[in-house]
């Protein structure tokens, strides 16, 4: 049996309005199943979207995310002082820089040369010119 969340529980976990969660489910952008008039969300998949990982719900083959903007690359450099860390990745010859908390960098235990997955979630992209 799959452990599920109702719309209110999923909304609380995702920090979204219940109506927004229902709309995302209806459009297929959020994993869910409609049972009668109620939406049910697979707990493991919703927790994965939030970065929550529990041994009972983690995938044995890695992570499964709904985000489509996923890039595989290698760690080129890690640096950081204080609270934040800068992680430089090489993705097919292009550099991508991620700024994450130092505690996250330590928890991931990545080293220079390790393969990683960069997941990009952005609400806007700006392009400019001189």
Reported as a pLDDT band with limits 50, 70 and 90, residue 21 is very high
CA distance linking residue 119 with residue 97, whole number of Å: 12
pLDDT tens digit sequence for 35-58: 999 999 998 888 887 766 544 434
* Strand-pair category, 38-42 with 4-6: antiparallel
Confidence check: pLDDT of 65 > 90: no
What per-residue confidence (pLDDT) applies to 48? 80
Rounded to the nearest 10°, the torsion over CA 33, 67, 112, 86 is -120
Mean pLDDT confidence for 54-77: 67
Instruction: Identify the pLDDT of residue 60.
Output: 38
**pTM above the 0.95 mark?**
no
The fraction of the chain above a pLDDT of 90, given in percent, is: 46
Q: What is the DSSP letter of 107?
A: H
Domain boundaries, the chain: 4-50, 70-119
Whether domain 70-119 has CATH 3.40.50.970: the reply is: no
User: Which tens digits make up the pLDDT trace of 84-118?
Assistant: 999 999 998 999 999 999 988 888 999 999 999 88
The DSSP string of 7-71 is: HHHHHHHHT--HHHHHHHHHTTSS--EEETTEEEEEHHHHHHHHT---TTTSBTTB---S-S-EE
């Amino acid at each position: 049996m799959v452990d599920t969340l109702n719309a209110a529980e999923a909304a609380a976990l995702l920090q979204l309005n219940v109506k927004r969660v229902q709309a995302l489910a209806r459009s297929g952008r959020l994993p869910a199943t409609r049972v009668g008039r109620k939406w049910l969300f697979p707990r493991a998949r919703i927790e994965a979207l939030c970065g929550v990982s529990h041994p009972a719900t983690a995938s044995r083959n890695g992570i499964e995310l709904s985000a489509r903007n996923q890039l595989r690359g290698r760690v080129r450099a890690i640096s950081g002082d204080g609270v934040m860390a800068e992680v430089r990745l090489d993705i097919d010859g292009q550099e991508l820089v991620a700024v994450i908390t130092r505690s996250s960098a330590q928890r991931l235990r990545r080293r220079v040369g390790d393969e990683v997955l960069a997941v990009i979630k952005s609400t806007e992209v700006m392009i400019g010119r001189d």
